[in-house]
Amino acid sequence: MSNGANALIQTLVDAGITTCFTNPGTSEMHFVAALDTVPEMRAVLALFEGVATGAADGYGRMADKPAATLLHLGCGLGNGLANLHNARKGRVPILNIVGDHATHHVQYDAQLQSDIETVARNVSPWVRTSKNTQDLCKDAAEAIGACMGPPGQVATLILPADVSWGEGGVPAAPPVITPPAAADDATVAAIAKALQGEGKKAILLGGRALRTPALMAVARIAAKTGAKLFADVFPTRLERGAGLPPVERIAYLAELASVQLSGLDHLILVDAKAPVSFFAYPGKESYLVPEGCQLHTLASFTQDVTGSLDKLSRAVGADQATPVLQALKRPGLPRGKFTADKVCKAIGQLMPENAILVDEAQTSGIMLAMYTAGAPRHDVLTLTGGAIGQGLPSAVGAAIACPQRKVIALAGDGSAMYTIQALWTQAREKLDVINIIFNNRSYAILNVELQRVGAVGAGDKAKAQLDLRTPPIDFVHLGEGMGVASRRVTTTEEFLAAFEHALRTPGPHLIEAIVPPTLAGLKLRVLPYLLQSLANLPQPIARALKSAIAP
């Protein structure tokens, strides 16, 4: 005879869910006690729910299967919402187990009572409060099936304390996952015709289309048809580097994205949405597909991406085509004045094969894609939903999913402070993560946005809302205080020494890079690169872009 919690954990591990990121409270104590009865389940404590959910996101992206979270009622779930939002946008599978008061206690509206289902619905299409111990594991199996997708999604199983402690729990069999169908013949034929016809064509890849099998298929199609390959602006997981097809990411700045997409006659979506501007700006377009461009969907979020691309490859006769692959090309070691781009260059020069780059560097990471393009194969995880505080937690999950791989997490100082407690979990679990925190003492990107949205009249009070100089945040003390070996660097040489040391020495590291905001660089250094990378820009467009970004 098993109680609900024991049977539930057994159901999870039987379905392959073997990691649970926890931040429990009293209502979850039976689940916590049951952890010891199921040795296959790894439980990882996070000191804030945003760390637990962000870790589950990073884990899901790298393990291609869900982790569970264990969260404490509506307030705990609410604390974890921003990173669940990022997972939702990235279509990452996560199974939330949210403890609740015992069913008979709800009527008293005790202190922690709240409407958990409403909190969950924002991020979780599948939500259920399990009503009794006998049905709990059936509910769990259904939740697991829902979150595995495709599309991957957040599913939330609310577990009342009495359902958890009640006897009579029976583990349920893993859900039967039906393999998704590939695009039908008519769709494939229509898209093949568009690709073989006149006009300028591009293929926009998102989600699972940015993984090796899909990338190889689409690169053959591109080689055969001349279609340009684009990736989502913020990919869930982008496999790139030497030996893989290079794919140009849609730019964050709508002004630049419009240039990338201008003149297109056909845009083919593969596990991606039509591109839109990240924010609305007065007088500027939100929808970025150029007028007159025909949109086609080869594979939607629910379909078989690689199967669809294989069919398209056959239809355009690309099976024997030679794809363009990225050559191994390191940028060289950086020298001279220390700036954020020197860090990016050093990473491009020194990062090992199979590294996982978690990029929440904001303005400091603008040059990262360029400097790492020819590095050995690696994965990049990005801020899919734009809710900051994702980087350091996501690194926790990625490192747990892939213990043999080096994780390099880049975070702005502002972003890092949202979920800095992730460092403690990294130390406790001895995770192989190098955290590089760009301390530019600013919400630098918001200074750019202040100009871009055309907000006039910003004075000292307004600017103070974007300024982190006083008091200066000391990340070395924060890191050391949570058990992570930490160093502050102020020169390129110091950075190189610290980074090389961290690469050689297993376990978590923190490097606090004191850098100037990249804002000035955005005008002087970054813009020319961005402009060059967007083929043959006519001068008027270049001028319009310059004034849009740095008026």
Q: Which residues of this protein are in contact with ligand TPP, per CB under 6 A?
A: 82, 362-364, 386-389, 412-415, 440, 442-446
* Six-digit token string for 5: 């919690």
Q: What is the smallest separation between the CB atom of 373 and ligand TPP, expressed in angstroms?
A: 21
Q: What is the smallest separation between the CB atom of 414 and ligand TPP, expressed in angstroms?
A: 3
Nearest to 519 by CA among 341, 283, 384, 388: 341
Q: Using CA atoms in the order 116, 122, 128, 130, what is the torsion angle rounded to 10 degrees? A: -30
Check if the beta carbon of residue 93 is closer than 8 Å to that of residue 66. yes
Say how far apart CA 236 and CA 219 lie, in whole Å.
19
The residue whose Cβ lies closest to ligand TPP is 412
Q: Which is nearer to ligand TPP, 38 or 444 (CB)?
A: 444
Return the CA Rg of the chain: 24
Q: Which is nearer to ligand TPP, 106 or 455 (CB)?
A: 455
Q: 315-319: long-range contacts at Cβ-Cβ below 8 A with a sequence spacing of 24 or more?
A: 315/188, 315/189, 315/191, 315/192, 316/192, 316/195, 316/196, 316/221, 316/224, 316/225, 317/224, 318/220, 318/221, 318/223, 318/224, 318/225, 319/220
Q: What is the smallest separation between the CB atom of 92 and ligand TPP, expressed in angstroms?
A: 17
Q: Which is nearer to ligand TPP, 2 or 421 (CB)?
A: 421
Q: Which is nearer to ligand TPP, 254 or 388 (CB)?
A: 388
Rounded to a whole number, what is the distance in angstroms from the first to the last CA of the chain? Answer: 70
Edge-first strand order for the sheet with 485-489 is 238-240, 378-382, 355-360, 407-412, 433-439, 509-514, 485-489
Q: Which is nearer to ligand TPP, 3 or 440 (CB)?
A: 440
Q: What is the smallest separation between the CB atom of 367 and ligand TPP, expressed in angstroms?
A: 12
Q: What is the smallest separation between the CB atom of 182 and ligand TPP, expressed in angstroms?
A: 36
Q: What is the smallest separation between the CB atom of 470 and ligand TPP, expressed in angstroms?
A: 15
Nearest to 136 by CA among 267, 295, 3: 3
Q: What is the smallest separation between the CB atom of 410 and ligand TPP, expressed in angstroms?
A: 10
Say how far apart CA 465 and CA 368 lie, in whole Å.
27
DSSP conformation class of 276: B
Q: Which is nearer to ligand TPP, 398 or 445 (CB)?
A: 445
Q: Which is nearer to ligand TPP, 171 or 389 (CB)?
A: 389
Say how far apart CA 485 and CA 200 lie, in whole Å.
51
Q: Which is nearer to ligand TPP, 248 or 278 (CB)?
A: 278
The H or E element that residue 530 is part of is: helix 527-533
Say how far apart CA 285 and CA 273 lie, in whole Å.
16
Q: What is the smallest separation between the CB atom of 420 and ligand TPP, expressed in angstroms?
A: 12
